[in-house]
Structure 1
Amino acid sequence: MAFSGPGTEAAPSPPLSVRVGNPRTAITTKGRIAALSREYEAVYIFDSALEDAAIAEKLEKHHALLGTKDPITTDHWGRRQLAYKIGSKDTGYYIVARFTAEGKVLPEFERALKLDEGVIRYLISVHEHELGAPPMTEEQLAARRAREEDDEDEE
């Protein structure tokens, strides 16, 4: 049962940003869609028969599709033995890249990777945080060893 009369009018509420469905887009109550950038990590396995210059050219072409202004960091692992044969190939050239991009550009980026015959496999994942503990300095290592020795002496 609703009450009506003086003093029962509701004040207009301000528009709120609410995430609905896709975590890469924020939909406001006014219906505007704002794209959110996220940090991604991609692992590529290129055909090991490709020259280094050809691999660099392909990387540049694919990374241009991302349209990011932030630098893309790449770590070249080089030619390595595959865990299992993919087609007739048993070696590949591994590259790990980290980049920031909007989610809406990923489908076209993945499509280009699928169509590229020089890319044997790829994996794109959201980069949430660094794995493992941060590197320790010599002083921190010495302090840790001293604590461990003290703990052993107490037992």
Structure 2
Amino acid sequence: MSNYEIMFIIDSILEDDKKEASIETVKGIIAADGEVGKVDVWGMRKLAYPINKKNDGYYVVIEFTGSTELPKELDRRLRISDNVIRHIIINKDEK
């Protein structure tokens, strides 16, 4: 089991319940093959540059542990999600 961290940006125009549902979906994907650690919701932030003509996003950071296949599956699922506009997964074990 490796330690990972994911940061993803949810579309700011979604209602609060849909934002929470997106976070729970990501946590569910992680829990299926790993263990969810600290969940840090940063909330609404201005993007560094416009993404799809959007200037704001809802930032979430989740620390988790899992197998080496978990980040690949998480990446695949977030790429096809309409609610997530950007994401990055970092292996915290690699220096």
- TM-score bracket, normalised by the shorter chain, equals 0.7 to 0.9
How does 1:52-131 map onto structure 2 within 5 Å? 52-66=16-30, 67-68=32-33, 70-128=35-93
Quote how far apart the aligned CAs of 1:108 are: 1.7
Relative to 1, partners in 2 of residues 1:102 and 1:60: Cα closer, same or farther, differing over 3 Å? same
* Identical-residue share of aligned pairs (%): 33
> Are 2:11 and 1:47 equivalent residues in the alignment?
yes
Task: Write the letter of the residue equivalent to 2:15.
Answer: E
Structure 1: unaligned runs, 5 residues or longer: 1-36, 130-155
Higher strand share: 2
Quote how far apart the aligned CAs of 1:106 are: 2.1
Deviates more, 1:38-47 or 1:120-129: 120-129
RMSD after superposition: 1.7
The TM-score, its normalising length taken from structure 2, stands at 0.87
Which structure 1 residue ranges, 4+ long, deviate > 4 Å from structure 2? none
Question: Larger C-alpha radius of gyration, 1 or 2?
Answer: 1
Quote how far apart the aligned CAs of 1:73 are: 1.6
Structure 2: unaligned runs, 5 residues or longer: none
- Structure 1 counterpart SS, 2:73: helix
How does 1:2-13 map onto structure 2 within 5 Å? none
Query: Residues 8-44 of structure 1: CA distance to partner in whole angstroms, max 9, x if unpaired?
Result: xxxxxxxxxxxxxxxxxxxxxxxxxxxxx10100111
Quote how far apart the aligned CAs of 1:68 are: 4.3
Task: Write the letter of the residue equivalent to 1:45.
Answer: I
Q: Within 2, Cα distance between the matches of 1:69 and 1:62?
A: 12
